[in-house]
Structure formats: C-alpha cells, structure tokens
Chains A and B, each alone.
Chain A
Amino acid sequence: MHPYDYCKPTSLGEAFQHLTSPGKVVAVVAGATDLIPRVRDGVFHPDLVVDVKGLPRLRDLTVQAGTGSLFVGAAIRMNELARSELVRSHWSVLADAAASMGNEQVRNRATIGGNICTASPAADTAPALYVLEGLVQIAGPGGERQLPVADFITGPRKTALRLGEIVIGLVLPRPPDGTVGAFEKLSRRQAGDLSIVSVAALAIPEAARPSWRLALGAVSPTPLRAAESEAILAGDLSDEAIDRAAAAAYGCCCPISDIRAGQEYRQAMVINLTRRVVRAIISRMPADPPCC
C-alpha cells in the first residue's frame, strides 16, 4: 500500500494545522472503510491521514437541551445508530438506513460522518438525513457553521467543505410526535450490498392532512428530494394519488447505468420503491380521530 503518515489530533486547532499542511495531500479518516480500499487500489495517494476519532464531540450521541434535536457525532458508527434506542425513538428512519448498510463488520467501523463526506450517490444514510432535514455541523479555522445536508452534498464525492474544515456531526431536528418514517432499499442481494435505489420518507402530522417528505438515493449525482411527489401526497392518499406520486418520483431522477443496474431498471424501481415506502407509512399512521 502507498505509504502515508498518520496522526490523531485531540484538539480542533491541532486538526486544522494538519489539514492545511502546505503541499500535502491530506485525508480525513474516521472509519477508514472507504479510504483503505481506495489507497490499496491505487486511486488515491494521501501523504497524511488525519484520524478525527480523538476530537471532542465527534463521538457524542445526545439530545440537545432546549431544542430536543439529536446531535450525532461524525464518528458515530453505523451499528451504533442501528442499535440505539435513542435514535430509534424519533429518528428511526436513520437507524433503518444505517442497519441496511454493508455487513456487520463494516457497520462496526463505518461512520455517519464518513458516509456523508464520501458523498457517494448511493450513500444510504443520505436519503434518511434529507427527509429528517438534518444540518451538518462544520468546524474550520474560521469558526463553526451549519449547512443543510442537501446543500452539503454537491456531487459524487463532492461536498461543500472548504480547505481545513471538518464535519463535527449532524444536528437532526426532532420530528413532531406522530411522525411516521420508512426506509427501503433495493440491492442485488438482500444484505451486504450497495443500493440500486433507496427511498426514505416521513409523514408528519399537520392540522388537516399530514405533510410528506420523500428522498431518493442512488438515482442521480446527489440524493434528491422529490418535491412534486411530496405535494401530491399532501393532498391525497388514494391509490391513484400514490401512483401519481411514484410517477413524479420517476420523473425527477436521472440515474446512470452501472455494474449494479441499468438506468431504465433503476427508474422503474423508483416507482416500485416509492409506492412501497408510502404504503408502509400509511399502514402505520395513527388512525383518524373519530368524526364528531
């Protein structure tokens, strides 16, 4: 394997110094499940690998006082999300997405920060984070900032991070009580594979009818919110409306053909998975209050 240096800073100041080392290709690493194969395959040649697992807050998984939002440190691992009662309590769509990824060994190493910073179009936590309208907490030499996840991921392996910045974690607002979520993915095997298509959705109770959030993964350069589908579902949950919402989801994606699936198959499966997710949520929605 291409030789590189390794360091594990314990303060942000120390990390920023390493990240801005002049003339060096610097890689941030948390779970290393993406980095090591890329270095070994010879497609990436870092000079320095900065392990962020020793930084403050990156291993936190807590509800923030006041707002009730969930803070998920960037170095929280997939199995920690999948098996957390706290995450399951109000953010279960994220736990379900995390549980669907890789295999047991990979889920014990791979982190949520790594998943969004790698910014693969097939990142399974991304559609869940899109419907939860998560915010990325970013720290850099100039201070901290927050960015919606949907603005953070800008393309395949591209993010809005600037030189010297790292992701501290994600802030996930607590959905209103009664919110129902679901995550579905299609892959070549039932487990241990990347997504051909993934769909996450939330139905949020409102005064009249629930509002909907629907996000698609692996069918465009970045994950997508299917706004037209959301609007259709907010107005009508008949079988005919679900079909229209699924067709609208088909209309907003632009998948590629690759080793996992062809473009047309992916598009067709967007329709199926959207229907499946919407129906799964409807079946679990609280019954209407008795009419008076």
Chain B
Amino acid sequence: MLHEISLTVNGDHHAIVVRSHHTLLQVLREQLGITSPKRGCENGECGACTVLLDGLPVNSCLVLAPEADGAIIETTEGLSAGGELHPLQEAFIQHNAVQCGFCTPGMLMSSKALLDRNPHPTEDEIREALVGNLCRCTGYVRIIEAIQDVAGRGEEG
C-alpha cells in the first residue's frame, strides 16, 4: 500500500509517496538520497541510523515510513547546512573521535540532542545519552572528550 506523506528534512519540505512496510531509514536513504543515517543492525541496538524526529533522537530503522508524515527530521547533512561545520563536527575532528566513521553521523545526532536538552552534561550523562550508539573503533573516550569540549565552551553548547 502506498501513502502520500509530507515531511521536512533539514529544513527542506518533501511531499512523497512511501510504502507501508518501509522505514524512515529507507525513505531517507533510498528516496531522498540522504545517506548519513547508516543501515546497521536494524534492531534499535547500534544507533547508526539515529536522526532527530521533532527534536528527539530516534532510530530511523524503527520508524515506519508513513509514521513520518508531518515530521521534522534532522540528519548530519543539516548540521553543516550553511557550509560551515557544526561545533560538534569540528570537535570530533580535533579530538580524532572518528575512525572508520560508520557510527559518526549517529553519534553526532545523539550528541546534538543531548546538548540541546542539557548544554552542560556530566561525563555520566554523556555516556548515558550514547548508550544506544555503538562504536567498534574508538573505544568512546575521544568521542566523549569531543562532546565535553563543546559542552565546556559556553552557553550555546
């Protein structure tokens, strides 16, 4: 069954037709060509597909495509929409918080959601916010340092 939905992705409005049994991840990657959300476990464990849905981090592999009707979606592509990297992206580079890069877009979106909600998190709060984002390369330490760096920079987070 096909559904007409409209959604906003990184500020761009899209009116599209989606299949009942597709997920938001499929819509983003295969219909809209937005490939920063990665297809990982498809079970809600790894967080590689994390996007913000109405401001909250969700696994886009666990959102039905028609459920996204009316949603405001943010992905890593939107973080540098003005041509400049987001402070979190800069900090990930500065701290070598990226190795293979597969988890990075999800890490960035979970980190952004955390700092939007809590601009000055403790290390425990950072670790708790990233429980649903697995990284098999970095050991997490540098990712946490990058987020702490941004969180320590002032009020805007």
Contact = CB atoms under 8 A, between A and B. Distances in A.
A192 B64 CA distance: 22
Interface string A99-142: 00011111011000000000000000000000000000000000
B110 A29 contact: no
Interface in B24-80: 42-44, 47, 50, 53, 56-59, 61-64, 66-67
Given A37-B42, A37-B44, A191-B131, A109 B20 contact: no
Contacts of A191: 128, 131
**Chain B CB within 10 A, most for which of A2, A4, A192:** A192
Given A5-B1, A33-B44, A103-B47, A109 B59 contact: yes
B64 A103 contact: no
Given A1-B21, A2-B21, A5-B20, A105 B59 contact: yes
B128 A32 contact: no
A40 interface: yes
B89 to A, nearest CB: 20
Nearest to B132: A103
Interface residues of A, number: 29
B62 A3 contact: no
B132 A106 contact: yes
B21 A32 contact: no
Interface residues of B, number: 29
A108 B56 contact: yes
Contacts of B59: 105-106, 109
Secondary structure of the B contact surface, majority rule = mixed
Given A36-B64, A106-B132, A108-B58, A4 B47 contact: no
A49 B131 contact: no
**Chain A CB within 10 A, most for which of B1, B43, B44:** B44
Contact of A106 (B19, B22, B62): B62
Given A32-B63, A36-B62, A192 B20 contact: no
B56 A6 contact: no
Interface in A5-34: 5-6, 8, 29, 31-33
A51 interface: yes
A4 B42 CA distance: 18
A265 B154 CA distance: 48
B92 to A, nearest CB: 19
Interface of A: 1-6, 8, 29, 31-33, 36-37, 39-40, 49, 51, 53, 79, 102-106, 108-109, 189, 191-192
